[in-house]
Structure 1
Amino acid sequence: MKHFIFAVVFLALIAAVPVSGQEQGEPAKVVTVLVREEMVAENALVTGTLHYDTVGKLSAEVSGLVNSIAFNEGDKVNRGDVMVRLNTDFIDKDIELVRIRIRHVGVRMENVEKDLERTRKLFKESSASEKAYDDLRYALRELSIEKEALSKELDTAKLKKAKSVVVAPFDGIVLEKTVGVGDWLAPGAVFCRLGVLDDLCVKVPVSEELVKFTRRGEHLDVDLVAQERTVQGVVTGVLPVADLRTKNVTVKIKLPRIEGAVENMSALVRIPTSKPKKLPLVPRGSVVNFQGKQMVFTIKEGKSAPVPVRVLSYEGAYAAVEGPGVVDGMTVIVDGAERLRPGQPVEVIRREGA
């Protein structure tokens, strides 16, 4: 029945378009290719959303007033680039104060050491008590511990000062900025979202009945509508949670690095809707729209002959089609088909794949 309908449409088109004498007398130069059959799955075009798969939420480890900001939304940054500088006036004062306390302890230690040396000599001569000698030894030990604690305190203050300069943890692009100069930044408060440039993905909602046809590791064409370009992605998996309302399941497709990629931009993906089966493959350029119908042109008795087809899927530069008589080894016109009319004489100047 399906082939009968195709045949009727085919005959109607030929009858509807008369061929002029000029077209009959002047053969059109064309390039042909042979149809080949391969195992291909039918697919459907589904709209997905582009995401940066790894996004860092940057925050400071110490609190402070924001002195300067070295980034804006959309900026690309490298690992180690300064993002934010916090005011360190109070930290600088703490560092200075601790250093003074360390010097003070050092003076006290010198004094106790001298007293201890004198008492040691007197103790040997039995002119000083053992308690006096022990008291000085323990006092020196206490001062030593106090100096060590102050050194640790100084290290902590220096570390706080170092942490007051927040740098990018990896190469990325700034997706969101949530801080301004003069703002108070608390520890753990996110001031920036940073996306990894080389970790892009498209998330596509797919009907739960069709998920079974998508395989991990499968390569799929992804059309970035806004950029008018097509890239190839790899299926990395299916998120294990279905949408509560629609019951759609999200398929995740990893993309290569794309300049000018924008988070949440649209992407069209051809998702498999059947198991692979043997289908005729023709070059995309051989499928033309003729009077509102999809056609391929073949050659019969030296003249163009349109054959109505239905595109079932796209596989790179090829389209998997079905139509009356479209079988493995059939000749179709790939270059020049868009200029042809039914019954127009043609001259084959090259046979590709022959």
Structure 2
Amino acid sequence: MPSRRFKAIPTLITAALIIGLAGCEQKAPPQAPPPQVGVITMKKLTVPYTYEAVGQTAGYREIDVRARVDGILLKRVYTEGKPVKEGQTLFQIDPAPFKAALDQALGVQAQAKASLTKATADRDRIVPLFKENAVSKKDFDDANAAYDAAVANLAAATAKTDEARINLGYTTVVAPISGMASKINFSEGSLVSPTTNGGLLTTIVQLDPLYANFSFSEAEKLALDKAAQRGSITLPEGRSYQVSLKLADGSTFKHSGRIDFSDSKVDPATGTIKARAVIPNPEGDLLPGQFVRVVIDGAQLNNAMLIPQRAVVQFQADKAVMVLNDKNIVAPRVVQLGQERGNEFVVISGLKDGDRVIVDGVLKARPGQPVNPVQAGASAPAAAK
């Protein structure tokens, strides 16, 4: 009897294990539902076409203020680095030698006038006497010659006087334009002259308006022209482009301008074409020499599709997006992207009208797996991570 009891124990243990395993299989957790993702439906649009290039600001006019006579620089009248008005006195060169030269020229001119007066009187007396044959032909000719010489001497003396007066005026150096005056190149007491190295006193830059110089490549110009011929891009009438500037801190300058110059030749050294925009700068916030991003608007991109940047993933060496089929199954799609527009890319190829693209919850979407799509922006915050 005891031996039979012991033989039945393994049978009971085996039965208990089978029942336990069966109970575990019945308690297995249910399969997780498809993840929720936010999608957009692609459609063709007509959107503004913009072009950006690196540029640098420059003064509308940059004038070198130079000494036009030799002399000692007595004083500087303006404040360096501050605005000046056209006609405002900037420097005073010692006028004493030029006043003396003017006085001397005036004296010579007075003598020439007196000589002309005498020569005129002599001629006037000779003429009636010559008609009556009271004087010789030689006396008549001498009187006329003396008169002509006196006229010429007075003209020369007057010219010298004018020159002396002009040189005296040059001792007061005034601003030829309104703008921002730079620092002085010579201190008071220095000898200045009209020479190349000795005459540059300062520089005035007109800040309103201001130039923004930039360039674009030959390839970009050809691509734009071909796109315009195909009709994929509509250029503004008269190619009148509007220009805005992005500053170094990422902000946009409050005044916009226009392109006023595009070169008619390609620089063979760089393969680029120079261009220039005129930007209003009434407050003087922009200074010459600043590096900016020149943003050119005015053209339109036809039949364009835009996609948020967050929808784009790196797929090996290509850019790709996750699209859904009619059964909400995820599949990667390689795309070719164009220019950036804020937080969006322009899609050149790879997508068509009606395609549904995942933009929220991209990391949770697995190729070949189903998802639960909702309109982008309407999904729960957790689904957008």
Scaled to the shorter chain, the TM-score interval is: 0.5 to 0.7
With over 3 angstroms needed to count, the CA separation of the structure-2 counterparts of 1:71 and 1:126, relative to structure 1, is same
Aligned to 1:224: 247
Residue matched to 2:286: 261
Deviation at 1:63, TM superposition (A): 3.8
SS at match of 1:236: strand
Would the aligned equivalents of 1:173 and 1:196 in 2 still touch at CA under 8 Å? yes
Deviation at 1:250? 3.4
Return closer, same or farther for 1:126/1:225 CA change in 2, 3 Å cut-off. Answer: closer
Structure-2 change in CA distance of 1:312 and 1:147 (3 Å): closer
**Residue equivalent to 2:365:** none
Distance 1:232 1:126, change over 3 A: closer
**1:248 Cα deviation (Å)?**
4.0
3-state SS, counterpart of residue 276 of structure 1: strand
How far apart, in 2, do the equivalents of 1:123 and 1:41 lie?
91
Q: Is the 1:203–1:253 Cα contact (8 Å) retained in structure 2?
A: yes
Structure 2 unaligned regions, length at least 5: 1-33, 226-234, 315-336, 358-373
Residue 185 of structure 1 pairs with residue 212 of structure 2: no
User: May I ask how many residue pairs the two structures share in their alignment?
Assistant: 283
Greater C-alpha Rg: 2
More strand by share: 1
Q: Distance in 2 between matches of 1:190 and 1:104?
A: 39
Choose from 204, 213, 237 the match for 1:194. Answer: 204
TM-score (norm 1): 0.59
Question: Once the two structures are superposed, what CA deviation does each residue of 1:113-165 show, in whole Å capped at 9, x if it has no partner?
Answer: 77778888998999876645654554344334323321221122112222333
1:202 & 1:142 partners in 2: Cα distance?
60
CA distance in 1: counterparts of 2:36 and 2:58, whole angstroms: 46
Specify which structure has the bigger relative contact order, considering alpha-carbon pairs within 8 angstroms and separated by 6 or more residues.
1
- In the TM superposition, what whole-angstrom CA distance separates every residue of 1:298-323 from its partner, at most 9, and x where no partner exists? xxxxxxxxxxxx994438xx966669
Structure 1 residues 251, 119: closer, same or farther in 2, change over 3 A?
A: closer
Aligned equivalents of 2:181 and 2:86: distance in 1?
12
> Matched residues in 2 for 1:341 and 1:249: separation?
48
User: Structure 2: how far apart are the matches of 1:83 and 1:227?
Assistant: 38
Query: Any idea what SS the aligned residue of 1:197 has?
Result: strand
What is the identity, as a one-letter code, of the residue corresponding to 2:260?
T
Q: Partner of 1:341 in structure 2?
A: 381
Taking the aligned partners of 1:154 and 1:143, their CA distance within structure 2 comes to 16
1:98 aligns with 2:138: no
SS at match of 2:219: coil
> SS of the counterpart of 1:260?
coil
SS state at 2:81 partner: coil
**Distance of aligned partners of 1:236 and 1:99 in 2 relative to their CA distance in 1, 3 Å threshold:** closer
Q: Deviations over 1:83-130 (max 9, x none)?
A: 333222222111111222233345556666777788889989998766
- Give unpaired runs (5+ residues) of structure 1: 1-10, 16-34, 294-309, 345-354
Contact 1:54–1:199 (CA under 8 A) maintained in structure 2: no
Q: 1:117 to 1:280 in 2, by over 3 A?
A: closer
Change (3 A) 1:98 1:251: closer
Which residue of 2 is the match for residue 67 of structure 1?
74
Question: Where do 1:1-354 residues align within 5 Å?
Answer: 37-41=45-49, 43=51, 46-107=53-114, 131-132=138-139, 135-136=142-143, 138-175=145-182, 177-181=184-188, 182-186=190-194, 189-212=199-222, 213=224, 216-225=239-248, 228-230=251-253, 231-239=255-263, 240-242=265-267, 244=269, 246-257=270-281, 259-270=284-295, 276-279=301-304, 312-314=339-341, 325=356, 341-342=381-382
2:219 & 2:148 partners in 1: Cα distance? 76
Question: What secondary structure, in the 3-state scheme, does the structure 2 residue paired with 1:149 have?
Answer: helix
Query: Separation in 2 of the partners of 1:277 and 1:111?
Result: 89
CA gap of 1:100–1:241, structure 2 versus 1, over 3 A, is same
Contact preservation (8 Å) 2:46, 2:300: no
Separation of aligned partners in 2, 1:237 and 1:255: 13
State the percentage of identical aligned residues.
16
- After superposition, the C-alpha distances for 1:198-250 in whole angstroms (9 at most, x for unaligned) are 33222234343223438742224321225843343423343334362x53443
Partner of 1:25: none
Q: State whether residues 244 and 252 of structure 2, in contact with CA within 8 Å, keep that contact through their aligned partners in structure 1.
A: no
AA partner of residue 277 (structure 1): N
The TM-score with structure 2 as length reference comes to: 0.55
Q: Give the Cα–Cα distance (whole angstroms) in 2 for the partners of residues 175 and 48 of structure 1.
A: 23
Instruction: Pick closer, same or farther for the CA change 1:130–1:224 going to 2, 3 Å.
Output: same
